[in-house]
Structure 1
């Protein structure tokens, strides 16, 4: 195990304070850092994309286990501290960038790389979809997210959410580890969890049906207390909504969170 990194001292040395606007809560517990690397299955032959490198607490553990690490950090103010943490580490490339602006193909040449990230709540859904639709594509994602977010991502009918659909369309999620708030500095108000997503070779729907899928799902979940007849009727019109639901074998009085993935697939694949 690597020697602990004194995050409060490192912040003071560089005149830094955690940025609440960017959701900066640094994971400092060495046991949990090691657990993430182990659960992500990082090995000597792996290439890893780390999102939100921060001060390098996790980056150095990834570098010790992986063949190569591309570490992305948005906050320019953290870069000097990150560089000091990684001094002498030769298999890490640091990118000062917004992950949404990074061209994955410029840094990874083939499918199968790993993604490890500590994601603030407000980015979770969009970032997951962005990465799952990237080319080349990762084989596995290990995401440190709020505990509630991880639970929602793993949910199934009758408690399905738009986030769960967004994840389970592309891969199989599981909640790998619970991470208490005290494992972070500063401690957030809620506990976190490590969400592992094993990606399918292809999504459960044909690529050309994915945008229509999200359009329909967003319309339904925007009014999740309403029946599908009402929420989808507002988008398609009552007659077409009734026709599609009947063709898919779905009771129009049901609500979106009660549909299984298979039922969503039938509904989206109905011509319209």
Structure 2
């Protein structure tokens, strides 16, 4: 029976998943983040968080055997899957024979978002959502690939390591370069914690579903390359006060300590604070006070 003819998702059955992997001669590769989701609850939560409707175009990264693909084809209008593993890609085309499914066999980081849409004969300005259980090893570059790409999604619901999810959704006091690189372009919130037992094989850590909603424009107007020069400088010695960390970090860029201290004063930033406390608007104010960009 074709997978889509089942009334319930058959790929949440561990026995069926093991049989499918054996038929492909495939042993889950840790380096490719191949942990197969077998818990139906995170699937339901992901589609609900993304508010997937029959009018939606949805991009999925790393579909694997297709457990999420099955749910997306039931709920969305068009599904575009990007899969690197040739064996899994070939199986998806057989198991999910649908004119609403487009498969791109490639490394997602080598394919521009607009090219994914083009593969489904869609223009680059087509609104779409990204819903995916992403390979954990490429979480940060993958998020940047889409958020900074030529055709960013309106909404992203992604399954990632719990610790990374906490960093991405952090508030002042726990901020990081990663948090700023995401929050510049999107709001971020944790939808649910997903235990390691929800996967086959179980990873060493728990996971989280994270909802990212693209901002109409970046949170601050400072050019990103300029903004992150200042942010990276401040985080070079993250546990030290800004009077030490930021001054030291910017010294190599030709800004003497006196100028940096004056810029912090102009920006209304206490030099006794640490980098993890500063919000994007404060970093932007420092950059402006330094005359950068």
Query: Match of 2:207?
Result: 192
CA contact (8 A) 2:242 2:272 kept: yes
Which of 126, 129, 151 matches 2:144?
129
Q: Which is worse superposed, 5-14 or 32-41?
A: 32-41
- SS across alignment from 1:50: strand
Which of 226, 238, 252 matches 1:224?
238
1:100 correspondence with 2:109: yes
- SS across alignment from 1:127: helix
Query: Match of 1:91?
Result: 100
- SS across alignment from 1:144: strand
Could you tell me how far 1:36 is from its partner in structure 2? 1.3
Change (3 A) 1:7 1:56: same
State the distance in 2 between where 1:157 and 1:184 align.
32
Q: Which is worse superposed, 19-28 or 231-240?
A: 231-240
CA contact (8 A) 1:51 1:72 kept: yes
Change (3 A) 1:121 1:240: farther
Which of 44, 47, 50 matches 1:37?
47
Query: Match of 1:4?
Result: 10
1:59 correspondence with 2:69: yes
State the distance in 1 between where 2:142 and 2:243 align.
31
What does the per-residue CA deviation read over 1:79-109, in whole Å, with 9 as the maximum and x for residues that have no partner?
Answer: 23323332x2221111111112112223152
Runs of 4+ more than 6 Å apart: none
Segments of structure 2 that go 5 or more residues without pairing to the other structure are: 1-6
> TM-score, normalised on structure 2?
0.86
- SS across alignment from 2:164: helix
What does the per-residue CA deviation read over 1:190-235, in whole Å, with 9 as the maximum and x for residues that have no partner?
Answer: 11110001111111123x6111112221222231012222222222
Could you tell me how far 1:12 is from its partner in structure 2? 0.7
Query: Match of 1:246?
Result: 265
What does the per-residue CA deviation read over 1:91-144, in whole Å, with 9 as the maximum and x for residues that have no partner?
Answer: 111111111211222315225310112223332222212211122221100010
Query: Match of 2:4?
Result: none
Instruction: Compute the RMSD of aligned alpha carbons.
Output: 1.7
CA contact (8 A) 1:111 1:138 kept: no
Segments of structure 1 that go 5 or more residues without pairing to the other structure are: none
Which of 274, 285, 290 matches 1:255?
274
| Count of residue correspondences | 270
